[in-house]
Amino acid sequence: MHYKLIGCKIFEREIASVIYQCKNKIDLTLLRQKLHDRPQNLKEIIQAEIDAIDADSHRYSNTTTYHPFDAVLLSYGLCSGATTGLSSKKYPLVIPRVHDCISLFMGDRKKYEEYYKKHPGTFYYTPGFVECADALRLDNQWEQVYLFYLKRHNGNEKKAKMLVEIEKGLTENYNSLTYIRWNELSFPEYEEKVLRMAEEKHWAYDLVAGNNTLLKKLVDGEWDEKNFLVVPPNCCAVESYDEEIMKLGTGHF
């Protein structure tokens, strides 16, 4: 089978590890993690990628003139509504039935839900979060954040201070850090870094075992209804507001 996979760069190592042994042909494009900060913008960018794939004009994909894709896979969950309304004119879309990426890292949606209930106020880390996502700010970093915003907004001190306060507010309810480790991706230096961050903030630290179950099923084409929504061409996914997380809608939002 020949699949196109559009994913977040936060999964770069994890996706590489499951593609490595996958018997299907996977054409991969990864988008920057910071797009999650604006879900509507992320939705528009993913849709533009899908439209280009439909038109066989996608600059990062091999031509599909002679070898069309069998499906377009997304390594995104609901992600604050970023995947609702997405539609392809030519290909089925396959979307994991998860709220966000942490379920994919843990390998089981129920496992994450149970962990979340027992550990509220937790910020999660993986190799990708350590490498390419903004780290949770430590107290002595806020001056650098202020200077960054000051430069970005041409010396507007009021706006720079406001943006720093907004960013601080997003983290005020956290009180613990959890690192998710896959056996295939052992980075003890990253675990140690997150542990030190927790100690500096006097927060709790936890190390949990994740696994590749969901991502491997995604690329292997094992799309059971419990864990994946398959969206036919010219249909779209909508939020279901229940345990299914997403369901089929109609039309192109």
Domain closes at, from 209, 226, 241: 209
Higher pLDDT, 124 or 136: 124
Task: Identify the pLDDT of residue 165.
Answer: 76
Domain check: are 119 and 202 in the same one?
A: yes
Q: Does 139 have pLDDT greater than 70?
A: no
Q: Does 136 have pLDDT greater than 60?
A: no
Domain check: are 172 and 159 in the same one?
A: yes
Burial group, residue 240, by CB count within 10 angstroms (0-12, 13-18, 19+): middle
Distance CA 166, CA 41 (A): 20
The string of pLDDT tens digits covering residues 74-105 is: 999 998 889 999 999 999 999 999 998 999 99
Instruction: Supply the pTM of this predicted model.
Output: 0.83
The string of pLDDT tens digits covering residues 217-233 is: 999 999 999 999 999 99
Domain check: are 167 and 195 in the same one?
A: yes
Domain check: are 149 and 169 in the same one?
A: yes
Domain that holds residue 136: 108-209
Token duo for residue 144? 């650098």
Q: Does 253 have pLDDT greater than 70?
A: no
Overall number of domains in the chain: 2
* Residue 148 pLDDT level (bands cut at 50, 70, 90): low
The closest alpha carbon to 206, from 198, 217, 214, 216, belongs to 198
Domain check: are 188 and 125 in the same one?
A: yes
Domain check: are 203 and 224 in the same one?
A: no
Q: Residue 164: how many CB atoms within 10 A of its CB?
A: 19
What do you get for the CA distance between the two ends of the chain, in Å?
29
Domain check: are 36 and 79 in the same one?
A: yes
* Residue 208 pLDDT level (bands cut at 50, 70, 90): very high
